[in-house]
Amino acid sequence: MLENIDLQQVMVLDIETVPQYADFDEVPEIFRELWDKKTRAQRKEGETPGEFYPRAGIMAEFGKIICISVGIFTKNGDRTGLRVKSFAGDNECAILGEFISLLDKQPASLSLCAHNGREFDFPYLCRRTLINELCIPSQLRISGKKPWEINHIDTMDLWKFGDFKSYTSLNLLAAIFNIPTPKDDINGSDVYRVYWQDRDIERIKTYCQKDVITTAKILLKFKEHPPIKEEDIIIVN
């Protein structure tokens, strides 16, 4: 499958997000009220809005992006490689600006690939871009496009094979395909603590890069392409 996908025209990406504030008490009152209403149906019985707040990072209205990692496939003779770069820090607007600047240098036809990207990464990037008063890059714009004109690849969707009720984690797909887990240090539920308590953005960046590398390896499995050798994966500082 994916015979028509040119790897040289694919960018694999992953984002890491956290709540906008370290603690619910720091949230402006209007947003505390809106958070209460937004999450009322999701909270367990007796769970307060404050207790549920560490999950705010998954909602673009209450969260922010702290890391974007991208991977570009390279070719050296008959060997496929991957160059990985990250934009990370406390300034979300600067992170998005650097990411958008990179995309602006790429062709509008560039395909973006992420695991669960259609449900999370792509819309989250668009929403936070608008909130930061930046211009959504052409590769992320879908309004007015026909489905076949949207160059988005979602490895979770590929695994569904038309099954709309299934959610399969990146970690599970990695295990199925005998790919080393990207969750060998932290996982998504740890990012809030590692960012707001440990203040260790480098650890989060490394985790995000591992997700990109794993997604790229899974994409190659779908394409029935030989795997990337570890020595052909380059992290660009």
Tell me, what's the pLDDT at 77? 87
Q: What is the mean pLDDT of residues 21-41?
A: 97
Task: Please give the average per-residue pLDDT across 40-50, as a whole number.
Answer: 96
Structure confidence at residue 72 as a pLDDT band (50, 70, 90): very high
Q: Is the pLDDT of residue 62 over 90?
A: yes
Q: What is the mean pLDDT of residues 7-13?
A: 96
Lowest mean pLDDT among 145-149, 215-219, 226-230: 145-149
**What pLDDT score was predicted for residue 185?**
86
Residue 4: the pLDDT is 87
Contacts (Cβ under 8 Å, ≥6 apart) of 95: 65, 66, 67, 68, 87, 88, 89
CB 56 within 8 A of CB 99: no
Of the pLDDT bands very low, low, confident and very high (cuts 50, 70, 90), residue 118 is very high
Question: Which domains are assigned to the chain?
Answer: 7-20+62-236 (3.30.420.10)
Q: Which residues pair with 103 in a beta bridge?
A: none
* C-alpha–C-alpha distance, residues 160 and 102, integer Å: 31
Helix (H) or strand (E) holding 71: strand 63-76
Average pLDDT over residues 13-20: 98
pLDDT at residue 35 is higher than 90: yes
Q: Average pLDDT for residues 63-75, to the nearest whole number?
A: 97
Question: 166 falls in which pLDDT band (50, 70, 90)?
Answer: confident
Listed in sequence order, the residues at least 6 apart from 24 whose beta carbon sits closer than 8 Å to its beta carbon are 32, 35, 49, 50, 53
Output the pLDDT for position 74.
96
Mean pLDDT, rounded, of the chain: 95
| Cα angle for residues 218, 126, 123 (degrees, 5° grid) | 50
For the entire predicted model, the pTM comes to: 0.95
How much is the pLDDT for 213?
A: 97
- Per-residue model confidence (pLDDT) at position 162: 85
Mean pLDDT within 91-114? 97
